[in-house]
A and B are shown apart, each in its own frame.
Chain A
Amino acid sequence: MDSPLLSEPLFLLGPVPIMVSVVVTWAIMSVLAFMAMLLSRRLTQVPSRVQAAAELLVITVDRQIHDVTGAAPAPYRAFIGTLFVFILIANWSSLIPGIGPPTATMETPAALALIVFLSIIFFGIQGGGLGGFLRGFARPNPVMIPLNMLESLTRSFSMFVRLFGNVMSGVFVIAIVGSLAALLVPIPLMALDLLTGAVQAYIFAILSIVFITSAVEKGKSPPKKDS
Protein backbone atom coordinates (compact mmCIF):
# COMPACT_ATOMS: atom_id res chain seq x y z
CA MET A 1 0.00 0.00 0.00
CA ASP A 2 1.28 3.43 -0.96
CA SER A 3 1.65 6.15 1.63
CA PRO A 4 -1.13 8.69 1.50
CA LEU A 5 1.49 11.31 1.97
CA LEU A 6 2.94 10.50 -1.41
CA SER A 7 1.37 11.68 -4.64
CA GLU A 8 2.51 10.67 -8.07
CA PRO A 9 1.90 12.82 -11.16
CA LEU A 10 -0.79 11.58 -13.51
CA PHE A 11 1.06 13.03 -16.47
CA LEU A 12 3.61 15.70 -17.20
CA LEU A 13 2.78 18.88 -19.02
CA GLY A 14 6.28 19.69 -20.08
CA PRO A 15 8.16 20.16 -16.84
CA VAL A 16 4.93 20.62 -14.92
CA PRO A 17 3.57 17.51 -13.22
CA ILE A 18 -0.22 17.22 -13.25
CA MET A 19 -1.35 15.35 -10.16
CA VAL A 20 -4.54 13.32 -9.83
CA SER A 21 -5.84 15.78 -7.28
CA VAL A 22 -5.59 18.58 -9.86
CA VAL A 23 -7.47 16.57 -12.44
CA VAL A 24 -10.15 15.64 -9.90
CA THR A 25 -10.38 19.31 -8.91
CA TRP A 26 -10.84 20.24 -12.56
CA ALA A 27 -13.61 17.66 -12.79
CA ILE A 28 -15.29 19.02 -9.68
CA MET A 29 -14.94 22.57 -11.04
CA SER A 30 -16.44 21.53 -14.35
CA VAL A 31 -19.38 19.79 -12.76
CA LEU A 32 -20.10 22.65 -10.35
CA ALA A 33 -19.72 25.31 -13.03
CA PHE A 34 -21.92 23.38 -15.45
CA MET A 35 -24.62 22.84 -12.87
CA ALA A 36 -24.41 26.49 -11.82
CA MET A 37 -24.78 27.69 -15.39
CA LEU A 38 -27.62 25.27 -16.01
CA LEU A 39 -29.37 26.44 -12.86
CA SER A 40 -28.83 30.14 -13.46
CA ARG A 41 -30.57 29.86 -16.84
CA ARG A 42 -33.62 28.25 -15.29
CA LEU A 43 -34.21 30.55 -12.34
CA THR A 44 -37.87 31.45 -11.96
CA GLN A 45 -40.05 33.19 -9.40
CA VAL A 46 -41.72 29.85 -8.74
CA PRO A 47 -38.72 27.65 -7.88
CA SER A 48 -38.22 24.03 -8.84
CA ARG A 49 -36.90 21.55 -6.29
CA VAL A 50 -33.33 22.04 -7.49
CA GLN A 51 -33.68 25.82 -7.37
CA ALA A 52 -35.30 25.60 -3.94
CA ALA A 53 -32.34 23.53 -2.70
CA ALA A 54 -29.89 26.02 -4.21
CA GLU A 55 -31.75 28.93 -2.58
CA LEU A 56 -31.74 27.05 0.72
CA LEU A 57 -27.95 26.69 0.42
CA VAL A 58 -27.54 30.41 -0.33
CA ILE A 59 -29.83 31.42 2.54
CA THR A 60 -28.01 29.10 4.95
CA VAL A 61 -24.60 30.47 3.97
CA ASP A 62 -25.91 34.03 4.27
CA ARG A 63 -27.35 33.32 7.72
CA GLN A 64 -24.10 31.76 8.95
CA ILE A 65 -22.08 34.71 7.67
CA HIS A 66 -24.50 37.19 9.22
CA ASP A 67 -24.47 35.34 12.54
CA VAL A 68 -20.68 35.53 12.66
CA THR A 69 -20.02 38.97 11.20
CA GLY A 70 -23.24 40.78 12.02
CA ALA A 71 -22.87 42.49 8.67
CA ALA A 72 -24.35 42.03 5.22
CA PRO A 73 -23.28 38.67 3.80
CA ALA A 74 -22.94 39.72 0.17
CA PRO A 75 -19.15 40.57 0.19
CA TYR A 76 -18.25 37.19 1.72
CA ARG A 77 -20.96 35.00 0.22
CA ALA A 78 -19.14 33.75 -2.88
CA PHE A 79 -15.82 33.18 -1.12
CA ILE A 80 -17.11 31.38 1.98
CA GLY A 81 -19.86 29.55 0.11
CA THR A 82 -17.51 28.31 -2.60
CA LEU A 83 -14.97 27.13 -0.01
CA PHE A 84 -17.69 25.16 1.76
CA VAL A 85 -19.15 23.64 -1.41
CA PHE A 86 -15.77 22.78 -2.92
CA ILE A 87 -14.40 21.18 0.24
CA LEU A 88 -17.64 19.26 0.77
CA ILE A 89 -17.69 17.91 -2.78
CA ALA A 90 -13.97 17.21 -2.67
CA ASN A 91 -14.32 15.30 0.60
CA TRP A 92 -17.27 13.31 -0.66
CA SER A 93 -15.58 12.48 -3.96
CA SER A 94 -13.93 9.58 -2.13
CA LEU A 95 -17.24 7.75 -2.49
CA ILE A 96 -16.58 7.34 -6.18
CA PRO A 97 -14.52 4.16 -6.64
CA GLY A 98 -10.99 4.82 -7.82
CA ILE A 99 -11.17 8.54 -7.04
CA GLY A 100 -9.07 10.00 -4.23
CA PRO A 101 -10.33 13.21 -2.67
CA PRO A 102 -8.17 16.24 -3.53
CA THR A 103 -8.31 17.34 0.07
CA ALA A 104 -6.52 14.14 1.09
CA THR A 105 -3.33 15.44 -0.47
CA MET A 106 -1.32 18.18 1.17
CA GLU A 107 -1.28 20.60 -1.75
CA THR A 108 -5.06 21.20 -1.88
CA PRO A 109 -5.64 21.99 1.83
CA ALA A 110 -2.45 24.05 1.72
CA ALA A 111 -3.74 25.98 -1.27
CA LEU A 112 -7.05 26.54 0.52
CA ALA A 113 -5.30 27.68 3.67
CA LEU A 114 -3.07 29.97 1.60
CA ILE A 115 -6.13 31.51 -0.04
CA VAL A 116 -7.76 32.01 3.34
CA PHE A 117 -4.55 33.57 4.66
CA LEU A 118 -4.46 36.00 1.72
CA SER A 119 -8.19 36.70 1.98
CA ILE A 120 -7.78 37.64 5.63
CA ILE A 121 -5.21 40.20 4.58
CA PHE A 122 -7.38 41.37 1.68
CA PHE A 123 -10.58 41.80 3.68
CA GLY A 124 -8.65 43.26 6.64
CA ILE A 125 -7.12 45.97 4.45
CA GLN A 126 -10.46 46.50 2.69
CA GLY A 127 -12.25 46.91 6.00
CA GLY A 128 -9.85 49.14 7.95
CA GLY A 129 -7.24 50.23 5.45
CA LEU A 130 -3.60 49.18 5.42
CA GLY A 131 -2.81 51.19 8.54
CA GLY A 132 -5.75 49.82 10.41
CA PHE A 133 -4.89 46.29 9.38
CA LEU A 134 -1.27 46.66 10.51
CA ARG A 135 -2.31 48.37 13.73
CA GLY A 136 -4.39 45.31 14.47
CA PHE A 137 -1.16 43.37 15.06
CA ALA A 138 -0.18 45.82 17.82
CA ARG A 139 -3.15 45.00 19.99
CA PRO A 140 -3.44 44.87 22.89
CA ASN A 141 0.09 46.36 22.86
CA PRO A 142 3.07 46.45 20.47
CA VAL A 143 4.78 43.71 22.38
CA MET A 144 2.21 41.35 20.94
CA ILE A 145 3.16 42.11 17.34
CA PRO A 146 5.41 39.03 16.88
CA LEU A 147 2.90 36.78 18.54
CA ASN A 148 -0.01 38.19 16.53
CA MET A 149 1.92 37.76 13.28
CA LEU A 150 2.82 34.23 14.28
CA GLU A 151 -0.80 33.59 15.19
CA SER A 152 -1.99 34.76 11.78
CA LEU A 153 0.32 32.22 10.21
CA THR A 154 -0.34 29.37 12.56
CA ARG A 155 -4.12 29.61 12.44
CA SER A 156 -4.06 29.28 8.68
CA PHE A 157 -1.57 26.48 9.02
CA SER A 158 -3.78 24.79 11.57
CA MET A 159 -6.67 24.95 9.13
CA PHE A 160 -4.49 23.26 6.54
CA VAL A 161 -3.35 20.56 8.91
CA ARG A 162 -6.82 19.98 10.34
CA LEU A 163 -8.44 19.52 6.98
CA PHE A 164 -5.67 17.44 5.55
CA GLY A 165 -5.30 15.29 8.65
CA ASN A 166 -8.97 14.48 8.99
CA VAL A 167 -9.62 13.70 5.34
CA MET A 168 -6.37 11.85 4.82
CA SER A 169 -6.85 9.78 7.95
CA GLY A 170 -10.33 8.82 6.88
CA VAL A 171 -9.15 7.71 3.49
CA PHE A 172 -6.21 5.92 5.07
CA VAL A 173 -8.34 4.05 7.58
CA ILE A 174 -10.83 3.01 4.93
CA ALA A 175 -8.01 1.80 2.71
CA ILE A 176 -6.49 -0.24 5.54
CA VAL A 177 -9.81 -1.75 6.58
CA GLY A 178 -10.69 -2.43 2.97
CA SER A 179 -7.48 -4.26 2.42
CA LEU A 180 -7.93 -6.37 5.53
CA ALA A 181 -11.67 -7.12 5.69
CA ALA A 182 -14.51 -8.04 3.36
CA LEU A 183 -16.10 -5.76 0.80
CA LEU A 184 -18.98 -4.40 2.94
CA VAL A 185 -16.98 -3.84 6.14
CA PRO A 186 -15.65 -0.33 5.23
CA ILE A 187 -19.21 0.99 4.54
CA PRO A 188 -19.82 2.24 8.11
CA LEU A 189 -16.45 3.90 8.01
CA MET A 190 -17.34 5.49 4.67
CA ALA A 191 -20.54 6.84 6.21
CA LEU A 192 -18.50 8.21 9.06
CA ASP A 193 -16.15 9.67 6.48
CA LEU A 194 -19.13 11.44 4.88
CA LEU A 195 -19.98 13.02 8.22
CA THR A 196 -16.35 13.95 8.82
CA GLY A 197 -16.11 15.49 5.37
CA ALA A 198 -19.23 17.63 5.95
CA VAL A 199 -18.07 18.69 9.37
CA GLN A 200 -14.63 19.58 8.13
CA ALA A 201 -16.07 21.62 5.26
CA TYR A 202 -18.30 23.49 7.70
CA ILE A 203 -15.42 24.04 10.16
CA PHE A 204 -13.10 25.30 7.44
CA ALA A 205 -15.71 27.75 6.10
CA ILE A 206 -16.73 29.00 9.56
CA LEU A 207 -13.12 29.44 10.71
CA SER A 208 -12.40 31.35 7.53
CA ILE A 209 -15.20 33.85 8.11
CA VAL A 210 -14.31 34.08 11.80
CA PHE A 211 -10.70 34.96 11.01
CA ILE A 212 -11.74 37.39 8.27
CA THR A 213 -14.21 39.07 10.61
CA SER A 214 -11.56 39.30 13.32
CA ALA A 215 -9.17 41.01 10.93
CA VAL A 216 -11.89 43.41 9.72
CA GLU A 217 -12.96 44.28 13.26
CA LYS A 218 -9.39 44.84 14.44
CA GLY A 219 -8.80 47.17 11.54
CA LYS A 220 -11.94 49.15 12.23
CA SER A 221 -11.66 49.53 16.02
CA PRO A 222 -9.82 52.67 17.25
CA PRO A 223 -6.45 52.23 19.03
CA LYS A 224 -6.52 52.31 22.79
CA LYS A 225 -4.95 55.37 24.42
CA ASP A 226 -2.16 54.69 26.92
CA SER A 227 -2.99 56.05 30.33
Chain B
Amino acid sequence: MSFDLWTLGFQAVNVLVLIWLLQRFFWTPVAAMIVARQASAQKTLDSAAAERAKAAAELAEIAATRAALQDERRAILDAARAEAEAARDSLLEDARAAAQVLQDTAKAGRVRAAETLKNTAIAEAQGLAVTIAGRLMARLDGSGTDAAFLGWLAEGLATLSDTDRKALTGATITVVRAKDTDIAAQARLTEIIAGALGTTPDLSFRTDPDLIAGLELHAPHVTLRNSWRADLDRIAAALADKDAVSDAA
Protein backbone atom coordinates (compact mmCIF):
# COMPACT_ATOMS: atom_id res chain seq x y z
CA MET B 1 0.00 0.00 0.00
CA SER B 2 1.35 3.36 -1.02
CA PHE B 3 -0.05 6.87 -0.94
CA ASP B 4 1.73 9.43 -3.11
CA LEU B 5 1.19 13.03 -2.05
CA TRP B 6 2.34 14.30 -5.46
CA THR B 7 -0.40 12.33 -7.07
CA LEU B 8 -2.85 13.62 -4.49
CA GLY B 9 -1.85 17.16 -5.35
CA PHE B 10 -1.95 16.50 -9.10
CA GLN B 11 -5.41 15.00 -8.86
CA ALA B 12 -6.74 17.80 -6.68
CA VAL B 13 -5.41 20.39 -9.10
CA ASN B 14 -6.69 18.37 -12.03
CA VAL B 15 -10.20 18.25 -10.60
CA LEU B 16 -10.16 21.98 -9.81
CA VAL B 17 -8.99 22.76 -13.32
CA LEU B 18 -11.66 20.47 -14.74
CA ILE B 19 -14.28 22.25 -12.62
CA TRP B 20 -13.11 25.60 -14.02
CA LEU B 21 -13.00 24.31 -17.59
CA LEU B 22 -16.44 22.77 -17.51
CA GLN B 23 -17.87 25.81 -15.78
CA ARG B 24 -16.37 27.96 -18.51
CA PHE B 25 -17.33 25.80 -21.47
CA PHE B 26 -20.22 23.61 -20.40
CA TRP B 27 -22.33 24.41 -17.36
CA THR B 28 -22.63 28.17 -17.81
CA PRO B 29 -23.25 28.21 -21.62
CA VAL B 30 -25.72 25.36 -21.51
CA ALA B 31 -27.57 26.83 -18.54
CA ALA B 32 -27.60 30.21 -20.28
CA MET B 33 -29.02 28.56 -23.39
CA ILE B 34 -31.75 26.91 -21.30
CA VAL B 35 -32.60 30.26 -19.71
CA ALA B 36 -32.58 31.92 -23.14
CA ARG B 37 -34.90 29.28 -24.52
CA GLN B 38 -37.19 29.61 -21.53
CA ALA B 39 -37.17 33.39 -22.01
CA SER B 40 -37.89 32.93 -25.70
CA ALA B 41 -40.70 30.52 -24.94
CA GLN B 42 -42.07 32.90 -22.33
CA LYS B 43 -41.79 35.74 -24.83
CA THR B 44 -43.62 33.65 -27.39
CA LEU B 45 -46.29 32.82 -24.82
CA ASP B 46 -46.58 36.48 -23.86
CA SER B 47 -46.76 37.42 -27.52
CA ALA B 48 -49.41 34.77 -28.09
CA ALA B 49 -51.33 36.04 -25.07
CA ALA B 50 -51.05 39.58 -26.37
CA GLU B 51 -52.17 38.45 -29.82
CA ARG B 52 -55.06 36.58 -28.22
CA ALA B 53 -56.02 39.67 -26.24
CA LYS B 54 -55.69 41.79 -29.37
CA ALA B 55 -57.82 39.31 -31.31
CA ALA B 56 -60.41 39.36 -28.54
CA ALA B 57 -60.43 43.15 -28.60
CA GLU B 58 -60.79 43.16 -32.38
CA LEU B 59 -63.54 40.58 -32.09
CA ALA B 60 -65.33 42.79 -29.59
CA GLU B 61 -64.84 45.76 -31.89
CA ILE B 62 -66.23 43.77 -34.81
CA ALA B 63 -69.19 42.73 -32.69
CA ALA B 64 -69.79 46.36 -31.73
CA THR B 65 -69.48 47.44 -35.36
CA ARG B 66 -71.86 44.69 -36.38
CA ALA B 67 -74.33 45.79 -33.74
CA ALA B 68 -74.00 49.39 -34.89
CA LEU B 69 -74.56 48.29 -38.48
CA GLN B 70 -77.59 46.31 -37.34
CA ASP B 71 -78.97 49.39 -35.59
CA GLU B 72 -78.23 51.51 -38.62
CA ARG B 73 -79.89 48.94 -40.88
CA ARG B 74 -82.91 48.89 -38.60
CA ALA B 75 -83.06 52.68 -38.62
CA ILE B 76 -82.74 52.77 -42.40
CA LEU B 77 -85.49 50.16 -42.75
CA ASP B 78 -87.72 52.10 -40.38
CA ALA B 79 -87.07 55.31 -42.29
CA ALA B 80 -87.68 53.55 -45.61
CA ARG B 81 -90.86 52.00 -44.23
CA ALA B 82 -92.07 55.36 -42.99
CA GLU B 83 -91.15 56.97 -46.29
CA ALA B 84 -92.93 54.20 -48.19
CA GLU B 85 -96.01 54.60 -46.02
CA ALA B 86 -95.94 58.35 -46.59
CA ALA B 87 -95.49 57.81 -50.32
CA ARG B 88 -98.30 55.28 -50.29
CA ASP B 89 -100.58 57.70 -48.43
CA SER B 90 -99.61 60.45 -50.83
CA LEU B 91 -100.22 58.20 -53.82
CA LEU B 92 -103.53 57.10 -52.37
CA GLU B 93 -104.50 60.72 -51.78
CA ASP B 94 -103.43 61.65 -55.31
CA ALA B 95 -105.24 58.64 -56.72
CA ARG B 96 -108.29 59.51 -54.67
CA ALA B 97 -108.14 63.10 -55.89
CA ALA B 98 -107.57 61.95 -59.47
CA ALA B 99 -110.47 59.54 -59.15
CA GLN B 100 -112.59 62.34 -57.77
CA VAL B 101 -111.54 64.54 -60.67
CA LEU B 102 -112.30 61.75 -63.10
CA GLN B 103 -115.58 61.13 -61.36
CA ASP B 104 -116.44 64.82 -61.47
CA THR B 105 -115.31 65.03 -65.09
CA ALA B 106 -117.33 61.95 -65.95
CA LYS B 107 -120.32 63.37 -64.11
CA ALA B 108 -119.93 66.71 -65.90
CA GLY B 109 -119.55 64.86 -69.20
CA ARG B 110 -122.59 62.82 -68.38
CA VAL B 111 -124.51 65.99 -67.56
CA ARG B 112 -123.27 67.62 -70.74
CA ALA B 113 -124.16 64.53 -72.73
CA ALA B 114 -127.60 64.48 -71.15
CA GLU B 115 -127.98 68.21 -71.87
CA THR B 116 -126.81 67.69 -75.41
CA LEU B 117 -129.13 64.73 -75.77
CA LYS B 118 -131.94 66.75 -74.33
CA ASN B 119 -131.21 69.67 -76.64
CA THR B 120 -130.96 67.31 -79.52
CA ALA B 121 -134.25 65.74 -78.53
CA ILE B 122 -135.81 69.18 -78.23
CA ALA B 123 -134.41 70.19 -81.58
CA GLU B 124 -135.62 66.97 -83.09
CA ALA B 125 -138.97 67.52 -81.39
CA GLN B 126 -139.05 71.03 -82.80
CA GLY B 127 -138.15 69.70 -86.21
CA LEU B 128 -140.78 67.04 -85.85
CA ALA B 129 -143.28 69.67 -84.70
CA VAL B 130 -142.37 71.86 -87.63
CA THR B 131 -142.73 68.93 -89.96
CA ILE B 132 -146.05 68.03 -88.41
CA ALA B 133 -147.15 71.66 -88.52
CA GLY B 134 -146.07 71.94 -92.17
CA ARG B 135 -147.96 68.86 -93.12
CA LEU B 136 -150.99 70.06 -91.17
CA MET B 137 -150.71 73.39 -92.94
CA ALA B 138 -150.59 71.64 -96.25
CA ARG B 139 -153.89 69.97 -95.47
CA LEU B 140 -155.53 73.09 -94.00
CA ASP B 141 -157.36 75.71 -96.04
CA GLY B 142 -154.78 78.50 -96.76
CA SER B 143 -157.31 81.33 -96.69
CA GLY B 144 -158.70 80.31 -93.36
CA THR B 145 -155.31 80.16 -91.80
CA ASP B 146 -154.33 83.52 -93.16
CA ALA B 147 -157.54 85.02 -91.78
CA ALA B 148 -156.81 83.54 -88.38
CA PHE B 149 -153.30 84.90 -88.32
CA LEU B 150 -154.53 88.31 -89.53
CA GLY B 151 -157.02 88.34 -86.68
CA TRP B 152 -154.30 87.42 -84.21
CA LEU B 153 -152.16 90.20 -85.72
CA ALA B 154 -154.89 92.73 -85.11
CA GLU B 155 -155.24 91.49 -81.50
CA GLY B 156 -151.50 91.73 -81.05
CA LEU B 157 -151.33 95.24 -82.34
CA ALA B 158 -154.18 96.20 -80.06
CA THR B 159 -152.37 94.91 -77.00
CA LEU B 160 -149.10 96.74 -77.77
CA SER B 161 -147.83 99.16 -75.21
CA ASP B 162 -147.69 102.83 -76.07
CA THR B 163 -143.93 102.69 -76.29
CA ASP B 164 -143.97 99.84 -78.80
CA ARG B 165 -146.78 101.51 -80.69
CA LYS B 166 -144.75 104.75 -80.95
CA ALA B 167 -141.73 102.71 -82.06
CA LEU B 168 -143.77 101.25 -84.88
CA THR B 169 -145.33 104.55 -85.87
CA GLY B 170 -143.27 106.26 -88.53
CA ALA B 171 -140.79 103.45 -88.83
CA THR B 172 -140.34 101.21 -91.85
CA ILE B 173 -141.99 97.95 -90.97
CA THR B 174 -140.86 94.76 -92.67
CA VAL B 175 -143.65 92.26 -93.02
CA VAL B 176 -142.29 88.70 -93.18
CA ARG B 177 -144.67 85.97 -94.37
CA ALA B 178 -144.30 82.22 -94.85
CA LYS B 179 -145.53 82.52 -98.42
CA ASP B 180 -145.49 85.26 -101.01
CA THR B 181 -147.79 88.19 -100.37
CA ASP B 182 -149.99 89.23 -103.23
CA ILE B 183 -151.41 92.70 -103.75
CA ALA B 184 -154.66 91.92 -102.02
CA ALA B 185 -152.94 90.57 -99.03
CA GLN B 186 -150.62 93.58 -98.93
CA ALA B 187 -153.64 95.89 -98.98
CA ARG B 188 -155.39 93.92 -96.26
CA LEU B 189 -152.26 94.06 -94.05
CA THR B 190 -151.80 97.78 -94.65
CA GLU B 191 -155.40 98.32 -93.65
CA ILE B 192 -155.12 96.33 -90.44
CA ILE B 193 -151.83 97.92 -89.34
CA ALA B 194 -153.01 101.42 -90.17
CA GLY B 195 -156.17 100.77 -88.20
CA ALA B 196 -154.16 99.68 -85.20
CA LEU B 197 -151.55 102.47 -85.34
CA GLY B 198 -153.78 105.21 -86.52
CA THR B 199 -151.44 106.19 -89.37
CA THR B 200 -150.55 104.71 -92.73
CA PRO B 201 -147.44 102.56 -92.19
CA ASP B 202 -144.37 102.29 -94.40
CA LEU B 203 -144.38 98.59 -95.20
CA SER B 204 -142.01 96.26 -97.03
CA PHE B 205 -142.66 92.56 -97.66
CA ARG B 206 -140.38 89.54 -97.45
CA THR B 207 -140.98 85.83 -97.66
CA ASP B 208 -139.54 83.29 -95.10
CA PRO B 209 -140.79 79.67 -95.39
CA ASP B 210 -139.33 78.90 -91.98
CA LEU B 211 -142.26 80.69 -90.44
CA ILE B 212 -144.43 77.72 -91.58
CA ALA B 213 -147.54 79.83 -91.34
CA GLY B 214 -148.47 83.35 -90.23
CA LEU B 215 -146.54 86.62 -90.42
CA GLU B 216 -144.22 88.83 -88.38
CA LEU B 217 -143.62 92.58 -88.17
CA HIS B 218 -139.99 93.71 -87.83
CA ALA B 219 -139.23 97.34 -86.97
CA PRO B 220 -135.87 98.76 -85.88
CA HIS B 221 -136.92 98.60 -82.25
CA VAL B 222 -139.92 96.34 -82.11
CA THR B 223 -140.67 92.86 -83.42
CA LEU B 224 -144.15 91.42 -83.37
CA ARG B 225 -144.08 87.69 -83.97
CA ASN B 226 -147.25 86.02 -85.13
CA SER B 227 -146.31 82.72 -86.75
CA TRP B 228 -146.21 79.07 -86.04
CA ARG B 229 -142.46 79.33 -85.87
CA ALA B 230 -142.80 81.85 -83.05
CA ASP B 231 -145.35 79.61 -81.36
CA LEU B 232 -143.02 76.59 -81.60
CA ASP B 233 -140.13 78.70 -80.27
CA ARG B 234 -142.22 79.78 -77.33
CA ILE B 235 -143.25 76.17 -76.65
CA ALA B 236 -139.61 75.01 -76.82
CA ALA B 237 -138.54 77.83 -74.50
CA ALA B 238 -141.30 76.93 -72.10
CA LEU B 239 -140.21 73.28 -72.17
CA ALA B 240 -136.60 74.30 -71.58
CA ASP B 241 -137.63 76.47 -68.67
CA LYS B 242 -139.62 73.58 -67.25
CA ASP B 243 -136.65 71.17 -67.54
CA ALA B 244 -134.39 73.74 -65.96
CA VAL B 245 -136.79 74.11 -63.09
CA SER B 246 -136.98 70.29 -62.76
CA ASP B 247 -133.16 69.92 -62.76
CA ALA B 248 -132.84 72.71 -60.20
CA ALA B 249 -135.42 70.99 -58.04
B-contacting residues of A (Cβ < 8 Å)?
3, 5-7, 9, 16-19, 21-22, 25-26, 28-29, 32-33, 36-37, 39-40, 43, 45, 47, 51, 54-55, 58-59, 62, 74, 77-79, 81-83, 85-86, 102, 105-108, 110-112, 114-115
Contacts and interface: CB of A to CB of B under 8 A. Distances in A.
Nearest to A46: B37
A22 B22 contact: no
A78 B8 contact: no
B30 A107 contact: no
Main secondary structure of the interface of B (DSSP, over half): helix
Interface stretch (B13-21, B110-118, B195-203): B13-21
A132 B168 CA distance: 171
Given A6-B2, A7-B2, A106-B3, A43 B15 contact: no
Select the residue from B1, B19, B25, B30 with max chain A CB neighbours within 10 A. B30
Contacts, number: 125
B39 to A, nearest CB: 10
A221 to B, nearest CB: 28
B205 interface: no
24 contacts: A3-B1, A5-B1, A6-B2, A9-B4, A17-B6, A19-B4, A22-B10, A25-B15, A28-B18, A29-B21, A32-B22, A33-B18, A36-B26, A39-B29, A47-B33, A78-B19, A85-B22, A107-B11, A108-B7, A108-B11, A111-B12, A114-B12, A115-B15, A115-B16
B26 A17 contact: no
Counting from the closest, the 8 A-B pairs by CB-CB distance are: A78-B23, A111-B11, A36-B26, A36-B25, A107-B7, A111-B12, A5-B1, A40-B29
